[in-house]
Amino acid sequence: MSDTAVPDSPWAAAPQAAPAKPPAGGMQVEFVGRRWSLFWLALKTGFFTILTLGFYRFWMKTRLRRWYWSAMRPGGHPLEYVGDPLEKLLGFFIAVVVLTFYIGIVNLLLMFVSFSVFNSSWVGYIASFGGVIPIWFYARYRARRYVLARTRWRGVRFGLEKGAWGYAVRALVHWAVTILTLGVLWPRMTFLLEKYRTDRTFFGSSRLVQGGRWPMLYRAAVPLVTVVVGGVALALWILVIDPISPDLLANPGAMPSRFVTALQLGRWPLAWQNPERLWAIPVILAGLVYGAIHYRWVAKRIMANHKAAYGVTFASRLQGPRIAMIYTFGMFISYAVLVIGISILVLLSISMYGPLAWLEATNSAGLGGFGDLPRWLSFGILGVIYLSVFLLWGVLHNTFVTFPIMRHMARTTTLPTTAGLHAISQRDRDAFAEAEGFAEALDLGAAI
């Protein structure tokens, strides 16, 4: 590599010295991070975020990204994240000003036109929602551009060309085509949007290229399509071919309430024919979730195997079932804590502000006593518990979902061909004012 990188910010680490020649057998990506060191980092930075009423979140994200990036080491050389939290904070303020103008002025005009022309407000609401969708796609592209621009490997910067509005327009068109075809062309949308981003991505002076064709993603959708076909077959069986209830087709809207009633009674209504078939519905729903996860990540693997730069190729052995297991286990842990914490919060709220009879009953059981506290103190206790619950949920999500997924992605990625690395030179620093501001303001930047 020809140029020596200049630190982009005070957060920048010293660049790693590059070897004269890459290893002949390609490069394996290592992951050296430890789960519990991430746990304590996420807990500490989350606690500071609460103490500062959210302002520290920009520093929290920067520190977490630096941890993740440094844990991933292609060829033994760690990635570097050199983003500046002050850039994120400034970008957030810029985005809030722009979105405030949109919400305050544009929405007012839309509602005025809606009432004047259509004598109703629903047209204005639909137009307002539709106007946010392209900004959402715009924000996603800009966030990716910022993260790549602040990422380095062996001292050389990544980058993404301008094109956020082009991406937003293409995303709207592809989504419209996908919806009109009832999802049949979903792989086409996935491939073409990723190709638009990849073909504008650089590592130093080298441009990445997304190869392959969009029909290759259909094999990633096999589990999802299988479950959808099974769901349609089940619906035809229990509704048309052999209805579980004679009057079900005459009143299909009553089926959910009947199913709930059956659960409450602990038995099926006598008039139903083979109602145990309804237990296949939760299985179908679980299959849909698995199929969606499998498609998303296996599609990433297929497209990664067709990405290349000049003299550099990529290979991924990412496993869809492994990602699904991570989601299942990690989500269960994090959301179980969230549900338990919210339940405790609700019980404490009732004990503090519920009916007097309930308070007396709980006090006699030794569960109450909060009603005698000063109102400001009781509100403070509830606020601390509320923030602590969501803090712990975020920490556990990082520890048991984000961490194992990134570790699996890193360890299943290799660079079989690296001959072109020695010819790559440095690229200019990409500086833009709003950083990830729109993604933060639209809550698209919460993830790493």
For the chain, the average pLDDT equals: 81
- Residue 28 included in any domain: no
The secondary structure of residue 12, as a DSSP letter, is P
Amino acid code (one letter) for 227: V
Determine the 3-state secondary structure of 227 from DSSP: helix
- Residue 240 included in any domain: yes
Residues in the chain predicted with pLDDT less than 50, given as ranges, are 1-22, 356-369, 445-446
- Residue 121 included in any domain: no
- Residue 204 included in any domain: no
pLDDT tens column, 59-104: 999 999 999 999 999 999 999 999 888 888 877 777 777 777 777 7
Q: What is the pLDDT of residue 153?
A: 93
Token pair 């399509």 is found at 225
Beta bridge partners of 413: 316
CA distance 63 to 68: 9
CA distance 424 to 198: 17
CB neighbour class for 177 (10 Å; exposed up to 12, middle 13-18, buried from 19): middle
Short-list 61, 77, 75, CA closest to 11: 61
Domain total in the chain:
1
Q: What angle do CA 43, 396, 377 make, to 5 degrees?
A: 60
- Residue 90 included in any domain: no
* Residue span of the structural domain in which 280 resides: 222-302
- Residue 243 included in any domain: yes
**72-74: strand order across its sheet:** 72-74, 27-31, 413-415, 315-316
Q: Is pTM beyond 0.85 here?
A: no
Q: What angle do CA 9, 11, 13 make, to 5 degrees?
A: 100
Q: What is the pLDDT of residue 446?
A: 43
- Residue 419 included in any domain: no
- Residue 272 included in any domain: yes
